[in-house]
């Protein structure tokens, strides 16, 4: 599916990701190769999940974690619709849905397992510190750690500046950092 169609489909789901932020996610997901493991924390109705899930190459894995996975609805669409849409359009992608607290869920995964971890869960300072502490070890060396609401949510901004001060701000309120670069 081309980028325009992916973005149009993602934007049917309500959420807080702007067009340029979704484009950044689609570009990163399109760059992945088979076997990639991507984890998204904070799914809500599935806006960013659809952007990534439709752009990733098949025979990869997309893990989605939310405390309220699938129980939030807007305009008749939920994460269940997002999940079904991705499964239908990208049948070789292995999809995982976890209704769980993000930091607790991290304990279920081996260290250095993921190529990408995208954090868009709770935005309060202590919660973001907790997510960063729990998820940074789960990222492969050279893997991409990123998240949303940098500079728009004080808790996100402060935690990212404290823990990953080398993080960049490539689009909108997206922050990102590649593991292996200095923090
Ligand atoms: C800003 S929304 C995610 C937006 C989504 N990425 C999008 O594209 O629209 C944040 C989500 O994080 C979830 N959340 C909040 N605290 C959490 C926690 N401790 N563990 C897992 N998910 C959490 C909320 O239920 C909510 O759905």
User: For the segment 32-41, what is each residue's pLDDT rounded down to a tens digit?
Assistant: 999 999 999 9
Residue to substitute in 47, 96, 122, 156 for testing ligand 1 pocket (most ligand atoms within 8 angstroms of CB): 122
User: For the segment 110-141, what is each residue's pLDDT rounded down to a tens digit?
Assistant: 999 999 999 999 999 999 999 999 999 999 99
Q: Is the pTM of this model over 0.95?
A: yes
| Ligand 1 atom index nearest CA of 44 | 27
Question: What does CATH list as the number for 3-178?
Answer: 3.40.50.150
User: How does the average pLDDT of the chain come out, rounded?
Assistant: 96
What is the number of H-type helices and E-type strands within the chain?
7, 7
Using a 6 Å CB cutoff, which residues line ligand 1? 15-17, 41-44, 47-48, 65-68, 72, 101-102, 120-122
Q: Could you give phi then psi for residue 58, rounded to 5 degrees?
A: -60, 175
């Amino acid at each position: 599916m081309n980028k325009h169609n992916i973005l149009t489909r993602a934007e049917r789901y309500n959420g807080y990701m702007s067009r340029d932020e979704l484009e950044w996610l689609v570009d990163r997901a399109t760059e992945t190769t088979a076997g990639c493991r991507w984890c998204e924390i904070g799914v809500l109705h599935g806006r960013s999940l659809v952007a990534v899930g439709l752009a990733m190459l098949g025979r990869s894995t997309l893990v989605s974690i939310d405390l309220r996975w699938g129980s939030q609805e807007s305009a008749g669409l939920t994460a269940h619709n997002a999940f079904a849409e991705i499964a239908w359009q990208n049948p070789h992608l292995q999809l995982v849905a976890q209704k769980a607290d993000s930091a607790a869920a991290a304990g279920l995964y081996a260290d250095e397992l993921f190529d990408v971890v995208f954090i868009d869960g709770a935005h309060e300072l202590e919660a973001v510190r907790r997510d960063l502490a729990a998820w940074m070890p789960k990222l492969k060396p050279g893997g991409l750690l990123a998240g949303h609401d940098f500079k728009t949510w004080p808790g996100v901004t402060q935690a990212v500046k404290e823990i990953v001060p080398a993080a960049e701000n490539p689009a909108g309120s997206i922050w990102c950092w590649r593991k292996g670069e200095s923090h």
